[in-house]
Structure formats: structure tokens, C-alpha cells
Structure 1
Amino acid sequence: MEVYLIIIARTGLLYFLIIFIFRMMGKREIGELSILDLVVFIMIAELAVTAIEDPKAPLLNSVISMLFLLVIQYILAKLSLKSEKVRQLIDGKPTIIINRGKIDEKAMKSQRYNFDDLMTQLREKDVRSVSDVEFAILETSGKLNVFKKEEGKPMQPLELALIIDGEIQPGHLEKTGKTELWLRQELRRLGYPEVQHISFCSFSNGELYVDLSNV
């Protein structure tokens, strides 16, 4: 009987501890969890199961390990907010699979993403044919976002981030056909001489959108 009481007590304690940890990790949909989130979730689940299955094992060991995982996740999450390089290292970056109606096989290969995956996710978006797609972007969560063509309207270029967290994105600049010199000149003309003070800047329909950092 005593063993069962210990199991119940441990289960209740770990239940509230896990809720606390997940609340501290922030709010995300299950389908939008990063690799870091998934690793932490799996390890916490394993620690909790081990602590419940073996009533003789010191509970403090599991609690310390779970809290340490929370600290690691919290620190890396803070770093990823401040640094795009850390964010890309942990989460990767979105990949354009279909660009203006053309499938990018090289991008698919780099993500180990095949045509069966593409067609399956297109069907889930109620898209019957690749020819109906203007853009398809594979997000870091593995979700495919699809932008359908609009009949009677010319294809519009995809809005690309030229500056993120004060850092210019050379790859995106190249895709827009612009140069870093052009970007800096345009920003100065608009009254933004310091790139490092810009948290986000994108280019769409011939215009720049600029958002200054308030951190």
C-alpha cells in the first residue's frame, strides 16, 4: 500500500512540475515545435516515467535533471531570440520548395524532401496540381505553407526578409536581384542609417518595410 501511495505522490508532483516547465518554455502549437523543444519534451517524459516506475529511485535526481533541461532550453531560447545564427543552428530556416510555379529540386534535395512528401502536403492543402501553386515554403517545423496562383493576376514576388536582428541577409538580397549597397542607400534615404538598429526589413512590390528594434 505504501508503494502505491509513493507512486501517486510522485505522479502528482511530477505532473505539476512538468506543467510548470512547459509553461516556462512558452506557448507553441505541437506542429510548430522546434527540434530543441522535442528533445527536451522527450527527455523530460523519460525522466518522469523512470521516476514513477521505480519508487525506490531518488526523486530529487529526476527533478534536478528536469529543471536543468528547462534551464538549457531557456538559455538557448533567449540566445535564439537575439541571434539569427543561433536560431538557424537550432531550428534551421524555411526553404522555398516552389518558387513562382517552378519546383526547386535542389532545395528539396537539401532538405531530404521528396515528391511524395510534396504531393501529400499539397493534397492536404486541397491543391490538386502543382501548376496551381505560386509559392510553397517548407517551414522549420516541417509544415508546408502554400500560396495559390490568382487567376488574371501576374505572379508576385515573394516577400523576403533582407534584414533580421540587425544582420543583412545576402541570400535573400540575391533572390530579389538587389545588392547590399542598394539596400544601405535606400535605408539612408528612408532615414535609417544604422542597419544594426533594424530588427526586421523586408522587400515586396518595390517597397521596403522597416521595423526598428525596441529592445
Structure 2
Amino acid sequence: MEDFITIVVRTIFFYFLILVIFRFMGKREIGELSILDLVVFIMIGELAVVAIERPNVRIFHAILPMVLLMFIQIILALISLKSKRFRDLVDGQPSIIINRGKIDEKAMRKQRYNFDDLMTQLREKDIRSIADVEFAILESSGSLSVIEKLKNSNEQQKQGDITVPLILDGTIEEENLKRINKTNLWLRQELKKKGYRDVKKISFCSYENGEFYIDLQDED
């Protein structure tokens, strides 16, 4: 009976403890969890299960590694926030699977993403045919973002490209420049024309249909 009560009490305790820990680690949708988030969540869950199933384990010995994992995740999340290179290393980058209606099989092979995966995710978005898709981007979270072709012929003529990030956190995205057949020199010259001489001060810069969107980094 005593063990039963201990298990009930520990279950309730760790339930609320995990809620608090996850709250401190920030709000993320399940589908948007990074690899770091997923690993930490699994480890914390396993530690809680062990502590509940084994009443002889001192509760402090279970709480300590859980809190430690929480701080590790927060520190790595801060590093990820500051470093684009670290984000790419851990989370990877989005991949354009369908570009202007054409399937990029090279990108699919690189992501180990097959046609069954593609068709499944298209059906989940109520899209019956690949022919209806203008762009499909496989996000770093594994979800598929889809932009459908416009039905009206006049609208199709006006339909442009997708938004292409050219600068993230002060770093020029060379791969995205190649996608739009532009160079580093071209980008710097265009930015100078607009009065932006220091790329490092630009937090985000995108390019779509010949137009730039530029956001400067917040001043400390």
C-alpha cells in the first residue's frame, strides 16, 4: 500500500515538474521540435518514468538530471538563436522539393525523401496532383509547405517566385543566391544603392519578384 501511494504521489509530482520544465524551455509546436528539443524531451520523460517505477530511487537523484537537461537545452537554444551555422548543423535547412512545378529529385535524394512521402504529405493538404503545385518546401521540422498554382490564367502570369532569404543574422546565404542566379557582389551593390553598407547589421533580407525586404538587427 505504501509503494502504491508513493507511486501516485510521484506521478503527480513529476507531471507538474515536467510541465514547469517544458514551460521554461519555451513554446514550440510538436511538429516544430528541433532535434535538440526532441532528445531532451525523451530523456526527461525517461528519467521521470524511472523515478516513478522505482520508489527506492531518491527523488532528488531524478530531479537533478532533469533540471540539468533543462539548462543544457536553454543554453543550446540561445546558441542556436545567435548562430545560423549552429542552427544549420543541428536542424538542417529547408529544401525546395518542387520548384515552379518541377520536382527536384536531387533535393529529394539529399533529404532521403521519397515520392511516397511527398504524395502522403500532399494528400494531407488536400492536394490530389503534383501538377497543381507551384512550390513545395520541405521544412527543417519535416513538414511540407505547399504553394499551389493559381487556376486563373491571368493570375498565373502575375504569380511570382517564392520569398528567398538572402541574409540571415548578418550572414549572406550563398546557396539562395545561386538559386536566383545572383552573386554576392550583386547583392552587396543592390544593398549599397538602398543605403545598407554593412551586411553584418542586417538581421534578415529577402528577395521576391524584384523587391527586397530588409530588417536591421536590434541595437543593444
With the shorter chain as reference, the TM-score category is over 0.9
The match for 2:49 is 49
The match for 1:34 is 34
TM-score, length-scaled by structure 1? 0.96
Instruction: Give runs of aligned pairs for residues 61-72 of structure 1, distance below 5 A.
Output: 61-72=61-72
Instruction: Give runs of aligned pairs for residues 91-110 of structure 1, distance below 5 A.
Output: 91-110=91-110
Cα drift, residue 206 of structure 1: 0.3
The match for 2:215 is 211
SS of residue paired to 1:10: helix
The match for 2:191 is 187
Which piece of structure 1 moves more, 176-185 or 146-155?
146-155
Instruction: Give runs of aligned pairs for residues 125-204 of structure 1, distance below 5 A.
Output: 125-151=125-151, 152=153, 153-154=156-157, 155-204=159-208
Cα distance in structure 1, aligned partners of 2:106 and 2:178: 17
Q: How many residues align?
A: 215
Across the aligned residues of Structure 1 and Structure 2, the Cα RMSD in angstroms comes to 1.1
What is the identity, as a one-letter code, of the residue corresponding to 2:140? T
Cα drift, residue 157 of structure 1: 1.5
Cα distance in structure 2, aligned partners of 1:146 and 1:204: 17
**Per-residue Cα deviation, 1:182-212 (whole angstroms, up to 9, x for no partner):** 1111111111111101110000010111000
Q: Identity percentage over the alignment?
A: 60
What is the identity, as a one-letter code, of the residue corresponding to 2:40? V
In the alignment, structure 1 residue 19 sits paired with structure 2 residue 15: no
The match for 2:123 is 123
Cα distance in structure 1, aligned partners of 2:15 and 2:132: 47
**Per-residue Cα deviation, 1:15-55 (whole angstroms, up to 9, x for no partner):** 22101110011111111111111111111111000000000
Cα distance in structure 1, aligned partners of 2:90 and 2:62: 25
Cα distance in structure 1, aligned partners of 2:201 and 2:92: 24
Cα distance in structure 2, aligned partners of 1:90 and 1:58: 34
Which piece of structure 1 moves more, 151-160 or 185-194?
151-160
Cα distance in structure 2, aligned partners of 1:32 and 1:40: 14
Cα distance in structure 2, aligned partners of 1:30 and 1:209: 30
Cα drift, residue 118 of structure 1: 0.6
**Per-residue Cα deviation, 1:111-164 (whole angstroms, up to 9, x for no partner):** 111001111111111111111100000111111111001131135222110000
TM-score, length-scaled by structure 2? 0.94
Cα distance in structure 2, aligned partners of 1:21 and 1:90: 22
Note the residue ranges of structure 1 that are not aligned, 5 or more in a row.
none
Cα distance in structure 2, aligned partners of 1:102 and 1:58: 59
The match for 2:83 is 83
What is the identity, as a one-letter code, of the residue corresponding to 2:150? E
Cα drift, residue 172 of structure 1: 0.3
The match for 2:3 is 3
